[in-house]
Structure 1
Amino acid sequence: MSNSFQAPKGTYDILPADSARVLAVREAIAAPLRRAGYGYIETPVFEDVKLFSRGVGESTDIVSKEMFTLTTIGGDELALRPEGTASVLRAALEANLHRIGNLPVKLWYSGSQYRYEKPQKGRYRQFWQVGAEAIGAEDPFLDAELIILAADAYRSLGLRNFRILLNSLGDKQCRPVYRAALQEFLRGLDLDADTVRRAEINPLRVLDDKRPDVRKQLVGAPALVDFLCEECKAYHEQVREILTAADVAFEDDPNLVRGLDYYTRTTFEFVHDGLGSQSAVGGGGRYDGLSEMIGGPALPSVGWALGVDRTVLALEAEGIELPNPAASDVFAVPLGEEARRVLFGAVTALRREGLSADLVYGGKGLKAAMKAADRSGARFAVVAGDRDLADGLVQLKDLTTGEQTPVALDALVSTLKEKLK
């Protein structure tokens, strides 16, 4: 009889066969952040819908088309978080983290985000990210630090075929001039009504349009780099110089916009050419005005989010197999009820000593139990029957070499700790 229920469209289950790789990716991304002083934060998976409409931007596809929204019994309008930055900044402001410690406040998170999109490989309605935010400081070294930490994380995984795209989106001084020039250009194009509306609200969103008919018309559009003020030019050049000195290669991409309204100045994207159309594996940038957009004080900030799902796909594209740790170091095989009782106690003691251990369940015979031990990936099997226990012994079998030796039951834990150092 087939199961009546399936994972919702655009979602998938992370099962034990794949979860070790997912966990390894999360850890590899998080490790450089912890070393750089970023503290872990978790936020609710749903927030006030206005947090995202104000921060992410009403002109973005995320807010206008892709958010999962709901109304509570009490009438509150909520949304499943489509991205992490606005939630993290909201939490930092609510807890006054910017007032009780040194700036920048360095935070990292790991969790799922939700967007109503057309499902395809690398694009899901529930997806996982690891992100980092540095809140409360305007410093090109901070922008560069975050880019370097992400690059180091990818390198630690063995990824080599990723590229870093870099651009500057200017600030509140120079971007309005560019905005006016771009709007004038866009008004001369043959665009549909929705795109015309987007161009009036935030014309930079049109530059992010992926439709071929729109992209063809954008050839010759004014470039933001030509409108940057001297201060933004100098800031961007510093970021470039710092990355170069740190041996982090990047490509200048004057068309890089990203999909969120809050970005200012530094913006960047990590892409992997082995993923087809969904080539972006992560990205971020500086968002100096977001705090004020959501009712906080002026807090210049910068951050990024890296996609766990797409990083796993990038590893597959490069044929990289991550080490898959065995579920157990030790697998116990009892032969008889008394042996089950004794070996269950031994397994419990091993776990309490920090070793991973498991036991065959279900009353399997010796042959089936040893097959289970082999499948477990454990280094050692502990086998015991009534005769062994009467002598105060168990049989310790090295599942790699096949060598089997008797060990005193009361010395089992210390013996295995020594062998598994």
Structure 2
Amino acid sequence: MTGAAEEAEQVVGAVLSDFTNGGGRGVVVDSPPGAGKSTLVARAAVEIARRGEPVMLVAQTNEQVDALIDRIARQAPELRIGRLSATTYEPTPRVAHPGVTVAGRLEDLNDPHIVAGTAAKWMHVTCPPWPWAIIDEAYQMRSDTLLRVAGRFERALFVGDPGQLDPFSIIEVDRWTGLTWDPMQSAVAALLRHNPDLPVHQLPVSWRLSGSAAPPVSAAFYPFTGFQAATSPGERRMDYRTRGFGGPADETLETAARTGWAFHELPARHTLRTDTQAVDAIVGLAERALQRGATTWSEATPEETPLSADRIAIGAAHRDQVAAIRRTLTTRGFPAIKVDTANRLQGSEYDLVLVLHPLSGRRDATEFHLESGRLCVLTSRHRHACIVVARAGIQELLDAHPPTEPMHLGVPAKFPDGWEANQAMLTHLRDHRVTAG
């Protein structure tokens, strides 16, 4: 076991001890990207269930619930697992295990050891309090949602990533800002605000991010609770089976393979939000990687593994950008490449990730586009390489738009703020810049 693995195991052991033996109502675990959050959730659920005690498992989306059920069912096939679902839910292959029962009511779940469902489903379940609950992606849960499910358990483990996107709403929420019961706080923020003595643990290593990726992500988005990569330099490698032609696209791909990062910089220009040149560039880079026969090596698969389209993702800030990229990929014959917004890419992992920078081509830097969690999600989904596509001029845009968010009484300052995080990541990306056009 490596030093990083030993350190991680010690923290996990302390978490499980605090959770199962402590006297308070909860334990909080902060997890950086790829730190084994889902592994911890599954391990805690299995250990408690094997002692003969029922476990309530809460996640924020159906995809998260199904992924956890799949992991637990493979790890402990002897356990009975109930999958709480809405009437519109269609069971996925991930829940097709012999010990898994899918139903909309607790009484139809075959007396399970573990019951899993979304927070939205648990809000409408009437039951006596469960002795144990595990809440996954707790920083994505709104505090009012926690309030509605808190009466259904006696003690809970809250696991999530504090550096990613906070809960959001499409309606105006300023009227609640600063109030102790602000529903737009994350569940963890509200929990610690009212229970400051609850134990908080930090998982110390990332199993997803490599030695080249963990330091800049940690410095930009986790300055006070930093983490390290679990892998050593040289354990992962990306290459191509064919040589390039020497243009900007090939230079960008080779920079990404060599260093784990590349910044494909288009000419400075103010554009519409759906920048067709940027869309063509980012699709072209993904297409070119597949054309050149990209391959990967890692500690998990030490033999050469071809990079398939389903191991590539493209992230953007807006749904219209996503739609344009997806449409272009389909036209060019690559529909298997994942394309989505940062909100929907949270929790996922790919070998190669391409990012359309939220500030590319903009005249202003709004709070939405400066949100540190958005850039954190987009630049922390990869195992091997991340390529950021943007127009030149982001530095000048940041200099012209310093932070202007108002300070509110009763609202803890967020560190780092979006402006600082964007500056830190841009400083890192400049060392991997390839000028295009």
When the two structures are superposed, what TM-score results if normalisation uses the length of structure 2? Answer: 0.25
Larger gyration radius, structure 1 or structure 2: 1
When the two structures are superposed, what TM-score results if normalisation uses the length of structure 1? Answer: 0.26
